[in-house]
């Protein structure tokens, strides 16, 4: 008699905000979800709220051993991992020379190394290399940013960390294909500014103006994009698409991009002031 294994998923930084909403989407789609977060109570509360068999784990994505432990626990319970979402991230604004060495390191350790740690752990399970895993392929979704495509004044180190995520993701996909692995996909989601806890305290920060210069997204906008790539994997999804086109144009023609920055920064400052007057958009 053949038994069908329930599909499984793990989401990092899922105790609140966007990560929790992505975990809920996966649970809605029938996945057994593991919610990970730095804080045990936050992760457990999110898993309880999501329900449907969701579990929680304390994971510092900077620590590869902790990442592997969460993976191995899920694999031991289910036999494999189908979807892994690298969502955990930090955003500290300011010019690189104004930030401390600790702040610069935090960006790279969480945003870049955390994504690498998660992706490598997931790939080992999806290839059947890690203990107890059966392989069978899977899908890795990396929450990147439009800051990973073009220049973002006031967020230089953050942008560097997200550029690294983009380069790592595309290069690792190429490595998988060259190794003959065709059943593991890696998708990068590159949203504009999202109204989540990451931006709640940035309304009076002029260095964060670029994050407010476009259409301020709600988490649900990004969740929908995740749902689409789950149905049809694609390497890069920019949200909204028109801002992605502008970012790519600025990256292709740096002088043009630099010339447009002052105008975009002014637009972002106007948006910040308007949001301050209205107490911000509805928080979801």
| Residue 94 three-state SS | coil
- The two tokens of residue 233 are 């994997």
Q: 251-257: long-range contacts (C-beta < 8 A, 24 or more apart)? A: 251/149, 251/150, 251/151, 254/151, 257/150, 257/151
Q: For 88-154, give the DSSP string.
A: ------S-GGGS-HHHHHHHIIIIIIHHHHHHHHHHHHHTT-STT-----EEEEEE--GGGTS--TT
Q: Strand pairing of 8-11 and 32-37?
A: parallel
Tokens of 94: 């300011």
What amino acid positions are annotated as catalytic residues? Answer: 158
| Chain Cα centroid distance, residue 60 | 15
């Amino acid at each position: 008699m053949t038994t069908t294994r329930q599909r499984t998923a793990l989401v990092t930084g899922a105790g609140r905000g966007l990560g929790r909403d992505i975990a809920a989407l996966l649970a809605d789609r029938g996945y057994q979800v593991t919610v990970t977060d730095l804080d045990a109570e936050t992760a457990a509360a999110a898993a309880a709220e999501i329900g449907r068999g969701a579990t929680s784990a304390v994971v510092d994505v900077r620590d590869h051993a902790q990442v592997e432990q969460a993976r191995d626990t899920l694999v031991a319970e289910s036999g494999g991992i189908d979807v892994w979402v690298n969502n955990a991230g930090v955003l500290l604004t300011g010019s690189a020379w104004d930030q401390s060495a600790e702040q610069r390191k935090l960006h790279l350790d969480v945003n870049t190394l955390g994504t690498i740690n998660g992706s490598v752990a997931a790939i080992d399970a999806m290839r059947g290399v890690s203990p107890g895993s059966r392989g069978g392929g899977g899908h890795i979704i990396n929450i990147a940013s439009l800051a990973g495509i073009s220049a973002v004044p006031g967020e230089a180190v953050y942008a560097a960390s997200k550029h690294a995520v983009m380069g790592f993701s595309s290069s690792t996909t190429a490595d998988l294909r060259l190794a003959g692995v065709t059943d593991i996909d890696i998708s990068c989601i590159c949203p504009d500014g999202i109204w989540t806890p990451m931006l709640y305290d940035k309304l009076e920060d002029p260095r964060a103006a670029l994050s407010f210069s476009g259409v301020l997204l709600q988490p649900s906008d990004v969740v929908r994009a995740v749902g689409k790539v789950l149905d049809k994997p694609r390497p890069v999804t920019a949200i909204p698409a028109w801002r992605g086109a502008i970012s790519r144009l600025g990256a292709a023609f740096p002088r043009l991009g630099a010339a447009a920055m002052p105008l975009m920064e002014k637009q972002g400052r106007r948006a910040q002031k308007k949001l301050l007057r209205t107490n911000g958009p509805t928080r979801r």
